Amino acid sequence: MPELQIPIPRPLVPEPAYDTIYSGDSATSETSGPGIGGGGGGVPAVAAPDGGSDETRVMLGLDYGTTYTGLAYMHQTVEADPAFRDLRVFGEWSGGGGAGKIPSAISYSKTPSKCKQWGDDIDKQQSLVLKWTKLELQPQKALQELAKLREALGGLALVQSLLRDERAGVKTDMPLHITKSPISIVQDYLTRVARHYYLYMRNNSEFAIERGNVPVDMVITHPAGWPYEALNKTFRATMGAFNKKIFPTRRNIYLVPEPEACAVFTVQDMIVSGENNMVPGECFVVCDAGGGTVDLVTYRFDRLEPLELEKIGPVSGDYCGATYIDRAFLEWIESKITNIDMRAQEHGTGGHFVHEAKRNTILDRFEKCKRQFTGTETNILTMPRGIQGDPNFTQLANGQLTITAGDMKGFFSFSIKQTLDLIDRQVGYARVQGETVSYIFMSGGMSQSEYVLDQEGSHYGDVTVQRPQEGWTAVAQGGVLCAMGIGANNAVLAKPCPKHYGISGAEALSPWKHRDAGIRLSADRIHGGNMALDQITWLVRKGDIVLPDCPVEASCRVACSFVPTQIRDGSTMRVTFCATDMEQPPDYGLDGGMLVMGINRVRSGLTCCCRIQRDGYHRD
């Protein structure tokens, strides 16, 4: 049976095709070879095409991270051009104590306390907490998908019991997270972030965003080289959370890679604070070491006034952030505990990173040890009540866990090694090009560790390793600067796809899928049985991200069967393309709001294809 690939456009993540030369507070972009973006695809930088310096607006920057999330913003008025001094970090988080970020955590568990169950305000003693969900947005490898499937199947016993007994739902507290997809969890979390920001701004800002008279633009930062699938999920979740019901004047949405946003803020901050010791013609590497990913970019400092930077080489990154230190610790301690499996859940995890009460307590206490570790300390960690260790494990006694300096170094080893390898490649590439690298700027949550900073510094004796004062919030602030055109011009304008696009065809009748009485049927003359007609496969969804100058591509495998006479006569296969702007598109049917975009008859190569693929040809 021959199989055809029917291509449909789909957005791709912009990759570097241009270098951007930054000039002062108002950037100009010049094309001069491979540069801004992060890979290889040919997208020029686009900054604030619909906004200018002669209007009043709010630019909101979102840095949704694996472990922490930050917001930064800038208010622009018609009286003055936007400037670095107008940049603000949102720190009014519940329970955050004025911190610049809030934990990327949410719980759907019921609690008798008054906790809001997200961010820092979670009843961790009685809740299942979902963390690290950002890591679930990326495409998974086969083994990872199988592991997620195994976890998802963990909740089937409960679902089956509910199907057998309708009253079971009344007396069973089914964890809501097992019904949620990663994008749904991210949107739920970001909805709480958006609501909190809105309420604060409504009560404390002169910009009356709730009355719809001030445009709100947004910039979303993302890891370097992130695949389209992950970027699209983040975009859709953000649009659902920061929706137009709350922000009726929400307008432009921009994207900026995290290391580039970090680089722009770092340089601007040094210049404004008078701490710039860089020499024109020398390069610096920015390493944004976050919770999930470590992203890097290298720039050459060409001129101070007006500021000019040129990107050297590609943006790079890998999954080796601070959560991998936590994972190493959990794997170590779970092998030592005999009376509890912190990974197991009564109803399964639903394939998500779920932390129950004891695991939350242990990780919270370990976090303090991790942040304070300098390379020599032995830490004593008080374990939750009831935990028993292996009799041969002497480091756990009387509820006290002893973590030696050697143990801690082992937890850090993977993340530090991978980070050093990434930096080595950036520095090596620049030096091969004849450049001189003088500085490595560390930012992000993992860089707050003195041990990490010391390891990076000792590895590079001839390069200064430095941590900017506001390195933890550099990404969110840098995203705003990029989108406002302050010292950079590398923000890419993103648009939501206006319609659903797909193809319509016949499918073999399935009793579980084609149960609707309105489905048209037709006899299958080759295999017997019936075919369900006008079945639609949606390849591009309304609201999917569309980027400038990027082709939109998707594929769908279509199987066709032909009898010998049809092959001899050169019969054709008909493919119907369709579209709709309905919010919930139908699974079948070509009427009632459906637009038939065209009917293509695919004829060339079918005869040859059938002759070559004899093993796939079925004859009844």
pLDDT tier at 620 (50, 70, 90 boundaries)? very low
- How confident is the model at residue 76, as a pLDDT? 85
E strands within 249-307? 250-257, 282-289, 294-303
Q: Is 14 exposed, middle or buried, given 0-12, 13-18 or 19+ CB atoms closer than 10 A?
A: buried
- Contact of 579 with 501, CB cutoff 8 Å: yes
Question: pLDDT (tens digit, 9 = 90+) per residue, 230-263?
Answer: 999 999 999 999 999 999 999 999 999 999 999 9
pLDDT tier at 441 (50, 70, 90 boundaries)? very high
The total of other beta-carbon atoms located within 10 Å of residue 291's CB is 24
Radius of gyration of the chain (CA): 27
pLDDT tier at 558 (50, 70, 90 boundaries)? confident
Helix (H) or strand (E) holding 107: strand 106-107
pLDDT tier at 20 (50, 70, 90 boundaries)? very low
- Contact of 405 with 377, CB cutoff 8 Å: yes
Give the burial string for 229-246 (b: 16+ CB within 10 Å, else e): ebbbbbbbbbbbbbeeeb
Q: Would you say residue 278 lies in a domain? A: no
Nearest alpha carbon to residue 152 among 354, 356, 348, 353 = 348
Question: pLDDT (tens digit, 9 = 90+) per residue, 517-542?
Answer: 778 888 777 777 888 888 888 999 99
**Can you tell me which residue has the tokens 């890591």?**
135
- Contact of 409 with 375, CB cutoff 8 Å: yes
- Contact of 527 with 541, CB cutoff 8 Å: no
Q: Would you say residue 564 lies in a domain? A: yes
Q: Is the pLDDT of residue 350 over 80?
A: no
The total of other beta-carbon atoms located within 10 Å of residue 8's CB is 17
- How confident is the model at residue 403, as a pLDDT? 94
Share of the chain above pLDDT 90, in %: 34
* Average pLDDT rounded to a whole number, residues 181-210: 86
Q: Is the pLDDT of residue 279 over 50?
A: yes
Reduced to 3 states (helix: H, G, I; strand: E, B; else coil), residue 408 is helix
- How confident is the model at residue 262, as a pLDDT? 92
Q: Would you say residue 20 lies in a domain? A: no
Q: Is the pLDDT of residue 486 over 70?
A: yes
Written as six digits, the tokens of 92 are: 């009014």
- How confident is the model at residue 134, as a pLDDT? 92
- Contact of 364 with 394, CB cutoff 8 Å: no
The torsion angles phi and psi of 443, rounded to 5 degrees, stand at -140, 175
The torsion angles phi and psi of 614, rounded to 5 degrees, stand at -60, -35
pLDDT tier at 10 (50, 70, 90 boundaries)? very low
* Average pLDDT rounded to a whole number, residues 605-610: 48
* Average pLDDT rounded to a whole number, residues 218-237: 93
Question: pLDDT (tens digit, 9 = 90+) per residue, 388-423?
Answer: 778 888 888 888 899 999 999 999 999 999 999 999
> For residues 590, 591, 597 and 603, what is the CA-based torsion angle, rounded to 10 degrees?
30
* Average pLDDT rounded to a whole number, residues 34-38: 30
* Average pLDDT rounded to a whole number, residues 293-298: 93
Q: Enumerate the β-bridge partners of residue 599.
A: 576
DSSP string for 176-231:
GGGG--HHHHHHHHHHHHHHHHHHHHHHH-SS-GGGT-S-EEEEEEE-TT--HHHH
Helix (H) or strand (E) holding 364: helix 357-372
Q: Would you say residue 483 lies in a domain? A: no
> How far is 70 from 90, CA to CA, in rounded Å?
7
**Can you tell me which residue has the tokens 């779920």?**
354
Nearest alpha carbon to residue 326 among 105, 101, 100 = 105
Half-sphere exposure of 310 (CA within 13 A, CB side): 14
Q: Considering the chain, what is the average pLDDT of its residues?
A: 78
* Average pLDDT rounded to a whole number, residues 268-282: 87
CA–centroid distance for 347 within its chain: 27
- How confident is the model at residue 218, as a pLDDT? 97
Q: Which domain holds residue 555?
A: 3-8+497-616
> How far is 438 from 464, CA to CA, in rounded Å?
6
The total of other beta-carbon atoms located within 10 Å of residue 559's CB is 12
Written as six digits, the tokens of 294 are: 């470590």
Phi-psi region of 488 (alpha: psi -120 to 50; beta: other; left: phi over 0): beta
- How confident is the model at residue 605, as a pLDDT? 47
> For residues 327, 333, 334 and 340, what is the CA-based torsion angle, rounded to 10 degrees?
-130
The total of other beta-carbon atoms located within 10 Å of residue 211's CB is 10
- Contact of 293 with 67, CB cutoff 8 Å: no
Q: Would you say residue 43 lies in a domain? A: no
- How confident is the model at residue 196, as a pLDDT? 94
> How far is 144 from 130, CA to CA, in rounded Å?
18
Which of the residue ranges 34-43, 434-443, 471-480, 576-585 would you say has the lowest mean pLDDT?
34-43
Helix (H) or strand (E) holding 361: helix 357-372
Number of domains in the chain: 1
Which of the residue ranges 31-35, 96-100, 106-110, 282-286 would you say has the lowest mean pLDDT?
31-35
Q: What is the DSSP letter of 67?
A: S
> How far is 147 from 153, CA to CA, in rounded Å?
10
Q: Would you say residue 457 lies in a domain? A: no
Q: Is the pLDDT of residue 36 over 50?
A: no
Written as six digits, the tokens of 188 are: 């739920």
Q: Would you say residue 307 lies in a domain? A: no
pLDDT tier at 28 (50, 70, 90 boundaries)? very low
Question: pLDDT (tens digit, 9 = 90+) per residue, 122-173?
Answer: 888 888 888 889 988 887 665 555 555 555 555 555 455 544 554 444 444 5
Q: Is the pLDDT of residue 612 over 60?
A: no
> How far is 124 from 363, CA to CA, in rounded Å?
11
pLDDT tier at 94 (50, 70, 90 boundaries)? confident
- Contact of 558 with 576, CB cutoff 8 Å: no
Q: Is the dihedral of CA 431, 433, 439, 444 positive or negative?
A: negative
Measured between alpha carbons, how far apart are the two ends of the chain, in Å? 12
